[in-house]
Amino acid sequence: MVKELKGIAASDGIAIAKAYLLVEPDLSFDKTEVADTEAEVKRFQDAVAVSGSELGKIRDIAKESLGEDKAQIFDAHLLVLNDPELITPISENITNNKVNAESALQETTDMFIGMFESMDNEYMRERAADIRDVRKRVLSHLLNVTIPNPALIDEEVVVVAKDLTPSDTAQLNRNFVKGFVTDIGGRTSHSAIMARSLEIPAVVGTGEITHDTKEGQMIIVDGLEGNVIIDPTADQIAHYEKVKSDFAAQQAEWNKLKNEATVSKDGHHVELGANIGTPEDLTGVIANGGEAVGLYRTEFLYMGRENFPTEEEQYEAYKAVLSGMDGKAVVVRTLDIGGDKTLPYLDLPHEMNPFLGFRAIRLCFANKDLFRTQLRALLRASVHGNLKIMFPMIATVNEFRQAKALLEDAKAELLAEGVAVSDTIELGIMIEIPAAAILADQFAKEVDFFSIGTNDLIQYTMAADRMNEQVSYLYQPYNPSILRLVKMVIDAAHKEGKWAGMCGEMAGDQTAVPLLLGMGLDEFSMSASSILKSRSLIKRLDRTEMAKLADEALQQATEEDVVALVNKYTAE
């Protein structure tokens, strides 16, 4: 039966395909006593054998579709599964204690996991994570429950999930995943941001999609308006096929602006950059006529893997982006882990408020070796292009000074080793904490540039979690309070002769763009897929008029008033 849901439009485009449910299975069980321990051991061994052949299959497919790197994780799982030192004690536990295979598996693996996790050795801690994954697989076979294997997707699907973590998203094969829909999340949750960079249509925050959808049901994802239709009628499919082709025609029109500069009607040039997460995203930046990389979220380099990337690996990635941009600016943001971005191999404390907690630069200050490795890799790569470095989540001027000092230490170290480092690297900060926005005049004396991170700035200013659809009504980019902060930051930068950019999602928002242009923003960095439509818009706008419009917007009381003002102007 047809069911329609409303969510938050997270990534443009229309997808029509079968549902693939990516949901955590229920693996709960009771501890029981068994009489026939021999049969129970056999049941356990069978589950191990099936898990082994399944893992082998996943590894082969992953190698082909996602590459050797991503497939390695499954090799590690196979090693665990074939390790007699782990498997034999489980069988013995069943025999000696007459317990069911599920609880023997749980108890014995808990012991090993506890032991490995307490070791001061990164390699051993990773083995603990492997054991957890393997245990889950064997348990699913014992309980006859299917666990989803996204690496096995080999036909066109719409992925349906409660939420997608950035590392889940990183593992999706864009050839087959045509769209995705989630229960929770907002427009600026990182899964939504990644969907935009992969150019996969997405709707997030539907509340109940996982509850309403069955595996294999047809789904329409309308990432333009935030609608989802489960089990659509033939008429609905025909309608959306038409919307899809109209959207493609519109994109073809925008595409004509690919090699043009971004100049307003009255001749004012601004820079339209792209936000990227991996060197592979450069293809999209170039295809969409990006004039710079305004935000390289380096944390994605640390995700979807089992250990920290080495200095060499990082150097190669940064070099690829810098040389790929061929002298155009590349703003690289240092590691911003925490909040909704976690690493399986980095044990972060469980926090009540992870977005207010131990994340980004705070975490780097506490893990100086980790930070130093990244800074060295960046500095080494600096000779391959136009590098600008920025620090995330800066709240105080002293934090900036400390980060800068660590960068200078790393530079001195490299120079002493005889390694060449560019001496024209600009150094900036993200403005995403209200304290930094309010004190922008002081920061502007010490930094080379600002990049306004509205995704976080809005959540901290409005005290509304960017991931939480229940409070998404408070997530108001056009609220005059936000606009005033943005204006303060731009003015403070200009007063000191510095430039101000924006790399939050607001920079590519079609209602915000006229206001930002009017407020004097120098650089707009957005999902690559938003660049051409923003260029098309800016070419139709007069910057002097937009300055007046922005001044008027700053004097409004509500977000609705601001939107009405902009709409009135654009309708004229």
Point out the annotated binding site: 297, 333, 432, 455-456, 466
Q: Which does 503 bind (CB under 5 to 8 A by kind): ligand PEP, Mg ion, none?
A: ligand PEP
Cα(457)–Cα(446) distance, integer angstroms: 21
Closest CA relative to residue 361, chosen from 312, 397, 408, 414: 397
- Residue 222 binds Mg ion, judged by CB under 5 A: no
Residue with Cβ nearer ligand PEP (183 or 456): 456
- Residue 456 binds Mg ion, judged by CB under 5 A: yes
Would you list which residues are annotated within the binding site for Mg(2+)?
Answer: 432, 456
CB of 297 to ligand PEP, least distance (A): 5
Q: Is 364 a catalytic residue?
A: no
Cα(122)–Cα(304) distance, integer angstroms: 16
Would you list which residues are annotated within the binding site for phosphoenolpyruvate?
Answer: 297, 333, 455-456, 466
Closest CA relative to residue 50, chosen from 133, 128, 144: 144
For 387, the token pair is 């590098």
CB of 468 to ligand PEP, least distance (A): 15
CB of 456 to ligand PEP, least distance (A): 3
**Tokens 């009135």 identify what position?**
568
CB of 454 to Mg ion, least distance (A): 9
Q: Which does 504 bind (CB under 5 to 8 A by kind): ligand PEP, Mg ion, none?
A: ligand PEP
Burial of 247 (C-beta count, 10 Å sphere; 0-12/13-18/19+): middle
Contact in structure between 281 and 293 (CB atoms under 8 Å): no
Residue with Cβ nearer ligand PEP (102 or 505): 505
Closest CA relative to residue 77, chosen from 145, 147, 156: 147
Q: Is 190 a catalytic residue?
A: yes
Closest CA relative to residue 371, chosen from 311, 443, 319: 311
Sign of the torsion formed by the C-alpha atoms of 370, 373, 375 and 378: negative
DSSP state of 35: S
Query: 190, 350, 384, 494: which one is catalytic?
Result: 190
- Residue 453 binds Mg ion, judged by CB under 5 A: yes
For 529, the token pair is 């897929």
> Which amino acid is located at 469 in the chain?
E
- Residue 344 binds Mg ion, judged by CB under 5 A: no
Residue with Cβ nearer Mg ion (102 or 432): 432
Residue with Cβ nearer ligand PEP (319 or 466): 466
Residue with Cβ nearer ligand PEP (297 or 384): 297
Sheet holding 227-230, edge to edge: 3-6, 227-230, 218-222, 14-22, 157-161, 177-182, 202-204, 8-11
CB of 349 to Mg ion, least distance (A): 20
Residue with Cβ nearer ligand PEP (130 or 505): 505
The DSSP secondary structure of 143-183, one letter per residue, reads TT-----GGG--S-EEEEES---HHHHHT--TTTEEEEEES
Query: 141, 364, 384, 503: which one is catalytic?
Result: 503
CB of 340 to ligand PEP, least distance (A): 9
**Tokens 């992870």 identify what position?**
354
Sign of the torsion formed by the C-alpha atoms of 321, 14, 184 and 169: negative
Q: Which does 40 bind (CB under 5 to 8 A by kind): Mg ion, ligand PEP, none?
A: none
Q: Which does 559 bind (CB under 5 to 8 A by kind): ligand PEP, Mg ion, none?
A: none
- Residue 505 binds Mg ion, judged by CB under 5 A: no
The DSSP secondary structure of 265-278, one letter per residue, reads TTS-B-EEEEEESS
User: Which of these segments, 57-65, 117-125, 238-246, 449-457, binds Mg ion (CB under 5 A)?
Assistant: 449-457
Which 389-448 positions form the footprint of Mg ion (CB under 5 A)? 432
CB of 51 to ligand PEP, least distance (A): 36
DSSP state of 263: B
| β-strands 202-204, 8-11 pairing | antiparallel
x/- letters, 9..48, toward Mg ion (CB under 5 A): ----------------------------------------
Residue with Cβ nearer Mg ion (158 or 503): 503
- Binding region for ligand PEP (CB under 6 A): 188, 295, 297, 336, 432, 453-456, 503-504
Sign of the torsion formed by the C-alpha atoms of 142, 143, 149 and 154: positive
Point out the residues that are catalytic: 190, 503
Binding residues vs Mg ion (CB under 5 A): 432, 453, 456
